[in-house]
Amino acid sequence: MLVPRVRGAPLRERVGQLEIRRFRYFPGRWEDLADGAILENLRARRGAWLQVLPFLLAEWVELRRLVRRFQPDVLHVHWIVPQGIVASLAAPRTPQVLTTLGGDVYALQGRLAAALKRFVLRRAAAVTVMNEDMRGRLVKLGGDPATTLVVPMGADVAAVAAAAAGAVRQPGRLLFAGRMVEKKGAIVLIEALRGVGPELSWSLDLVGDGPLRGQLQTAAAGLAGPIRFRGVLDRTALARAMGECEVFVLPSAPAASGDQDGLPVVLLEAMAAGCAIVASRLPGIDAVLTDGQTGLLVPPRDPGALWAALVRLLDDPPLRARLGAAAAAAVQAYSVQAVGERYAELLAGVAGAATEPSGRAPGGTPHASNTIRPR
């Protein structure tokens, strides 16, 4: 695994059979483009643009070196921009499975961005996306309909369920978890809570950090219920927090840049923890949550609708229990084991196709349908 360096991380690390290599791209004191999300860092700080060209060059040099050394059968490239561009130039003869989570699909617009994405898409052996909306956008850009597939990310369902199992639901506890950026919609949640009257007792925990934290803290001042900003938690602590909440809230919303969530893994984790969930009706999210059956869906950027859904759940314990149990059952299809099998199948098919004279993987094509659904 080749990834950019982040502060405090070793340049080389081994986890089981996985070897992680982190490349340097800027003097250490200022090397922070990849800390968090690159697009958000570029929007927040003009100076971060100075790191872009060194980042691309350093990644190209290191990827080219590793490909020559290890001669991989297939590359699994995450993000169209920038990794897809770098991989297309550094390893043009190595088959590539390209995975995008949504940011570069939704946020990067304009002729230049479209041309760069088209360049990458046409060189990929297969492309995986998080939802059908993303697939349609990439096919429109020039992606092959036969090899542009919906294969969402998975969650460590068993580990989350085990960590949450010993927790006790706290009366009225609401939980938000995500980066504090526009597309996560935390400001919409805070506005919705202004409408909750004194007849309902509630509290809110916000887990995560980001450039909007100060704005959110200011907006939360004076609300009726107590609010805790808990910062970044590790996976076990987050799972326990999910086990303690009565309602998990995912108020995702398209940002002004066009960026939006594809299918947040944190949603799958909340389902694994058996949470009653209120989420925005966005592509990807609405493919996993069924309104009234495994959660409640509301229009994005609608504090009134979000308020009504929160009040409904806080005031109805049987409904919370039913939705949480149904969500925990439904998320089994998105476990890392189930999704991992799909990616292993796809990667093996692409590698096999590259070695077959006919261009077909043994036993047929590696892409039987446009959507590979987790089992």
Query: CA-CA distance, 142 to 58, in Å (whole number)?
Result: 28
- CATH superfamily for 72-154+335-375 is Glycogen Phosphorylase B; (3.40.50.2000)
SS3 category, 340: helix
Cβ-count burial of 76 within 10 angstroms (0-12 exposed, 13-18 middle, 19+ buried)? middle
Tokens at residue 370, please? 């446009």
Residue type at position 2 = L
The pLDDT assigned to 362 comes to: 35
Closest C-alpha among 136, 158, 128 to residue 345: 128
Whole-model pTM above 0.95?
no
Domain ranges of the chain: 1-71, 72-154+335-375, 157-333
The pLDDT assigned to 211 comes to: 87
Mean pLDDT for back-to-back runs of 10 residues, the chain (375 residues): 92 95 93 84 86 96 96 95 94 96 82 92 95 93 94 94 94 96 94 82 94 93 89 96 98 88 94 98 94 97 96 96 97 93 95 65 39 42
Query: CA-CA distance, 152 to 287, in Å (whole number)?
Result: 10
The pLDDT assigned to 357 comes to: 55
Residue type at position 336 = V
Please identify which residue in the block is written with the tokens 């096919």.
139
Residue type at position 154 = G
Under a CB-based contact definition with an 8 Å cutoff, are residues 314 and 200 in contact? yes
User: How are beta strands 247-250 and 227-231 bridged, if at all?
Assistant: unpaired
- 120's CB contacts (< 8 A; 6+ apart) are 80, 81, 84, 85, 88, 98
Question: Is-same-fold flag (72-154+335-375; 157-333)?
Answer: yes
The pLDDT assigned to 296 comes to: 98
The pLDDT assigned to 372 comes to: 41
- 169's CB contacts (< 8 A; 6+ apart) are 243, 244, 245, 246
124: left (phi over 0), alpha (psi -120 to 50) or beta: beta
| Domain 157-333: top CATH class | alpha beta
